[in-house]
A = this chain, B = another copy of it.
Amino acid sequence: MTPKKRPLILITNDDGIHAKGIRALIQIMQKIGDVVVMAPEEPMSGMSHSITSLIPLRARLIEKKEFYQEYACAGTPVDCVKLAQHLFFQEQKPDLVVSGINHGSNASINIIYSGTMGAALESSMNGFPSIGFSLLDYSKDADFLAAEPFILQIVEDVLRNDLPKNVCLNVNIPAVKTEEIKGIRICRQANACWVDSYENRIDPRGHNYFWLTGDFKANGITEEDDIWALDNNYISVVPVQYDFTHYECIDNLKGRLENV
């Protein structure tokens, strides 16, 4: 099966419509498909799977030309997916949703805080094949195009072969030159956590405020983990789903809590 001519691709992110990462992703995707962009007006880092329900949403047209439409949405990344679906995909579904390229890692436990991956998960919940891309580089000069051949390889594979229902991909890219990328590795989400701290400060009026800081702590990393792949200059690809059930616990808890 060959990919359709000019697939319809929705692009979003969590760093906002002006971010360098989404500009690179738009540039890459325009080479292969018709593109609709719906991304947050403002940076939405750490917004996870949050939605706007207490206030209404707005969207603003930025550019519209043949094969390309771009909108900014005054909401979260997940809002962007939901609103784009409502406005543009009632009849023709997108062939692919890509989210990113995120400025910074969404490997391991970072996925749970990630708006980039929130949008990808939401897309897969709506039945759209979807991929979140992140680059492990926070610097202003980050090179979002270094991994372009690999991004195209992954995108073209998903367009050709699809993904299982309710599964999307969490793709993280090491911050190295194209020729230093060793290839792609399919991984599991590494077991890790943030050991948080806050920097306490006092404002000019004498009141306390707190800045979040923290150290990333990985546990027992093996070659199967995304963290290992990235540390070794591979692109990590984790197939991701959203059933939170811990099945192994069910029987034990049944014995303790059910009165049946």
**Residue positions of A touching B, CB distance < 8 A:** 43, 45-54, 56-59, 78-79, 82-83, 85-86, 109, 111-113, 115, 118, 121, 125-126, 153-154, 157, 161, 163-164, 167, 170, 183-189, 191, 193, 196-198, 201, 207-212, 237-250, 253-254, 256-260
Q: Are A237 and B212 in contact (CB under 8 A)?
A: no
Choose from B45, B207, B250 the contact partner of A53 (Cβ within 8 Å): B45
A115 to B51, CA, bound (A): 10
Closest approach, in angstroms, between the C-beta of A239 and any C-beta of chain B? Answer: 4
Closest approach, in angstroms, between the C-beta of A245 and any C-beta of chain B? Answer: 4
Q: Are B50 and A258 in contact (CB under 8 A)?
A: no
Choose from B46, B207, B208 the contact partner of A51 (Cβ within 8 Å): B46
A125 to B107, CA, bound (A): 16
Residues from chain B with a CB closer than 8 A to the CB of A83 are: 198, 210
Choose from B52, B183, B249 the contact partner of A239 (Cβ within 8 Å): B249
Choose from B57, B183, B209, B243 the contact partner of A209 (Cβ within 8 Å): B57
Q: Are A113 and B189 in contact (CB under 8 A)?
A: no
With contact pairs A86-B198, A212-B82, A237-B257 given, residues A50 and B113 touching in the complex (Cβ less than 8 Å): yes
Q: Which residue of B lies closest to A195 (CB)?
A: B126
Closest approach, in angstroms, between the C-beta of A77 and any C-beta of chain B? Answer: 10
A219 to B73, CA, bound (A): 31
Residues from chain B with a CB closer than 8 A to the CB of A50 are: 46-48, 50, 113, 115
Q: Are A245 and B239 in contact (CB under 8 A)?
A: yes
Q: Which residue of B lies closest to A212 (CB)?
A: B53
Residues from chain B with a CB closer than 8 A to the CB of A59 are: 208, 210
Which interface residue of A86, A109, A154 has the most chain B CB atoms within 10 A?
Answer: A86
User: Which 7 pairs from chain A and chain B are nearest by CB?
Assistant: A239-B249, A48-B49, A241-B246, A48-B48, A239-B246, A56-B209, A46-B51
With contact pairs A196-B82, A210-B83 given, residues A164 and B52 touching in the complex (Cβ less than 8 Å): no
Q: Which residue of B lies closest to A160 (CB)?
A: B256
Q: Are B250 and A240 in contact (CB under 8 A)?
A: no
Q: Are A58 and B208 in contact (CB under 8 A)?
A: yes
Q: Are B244 and A241 in contact (CB under 8 A)?
A: yes
Q: Are B58 and A246 in contact (CB under 8 A)?
A: no
Closest approach, in angstroms, between the C-beta of A103 and any C-beta of chain B? Answer: 12
Q: Are A121 and B112 in contact (CB under 8 A)?
A: yes
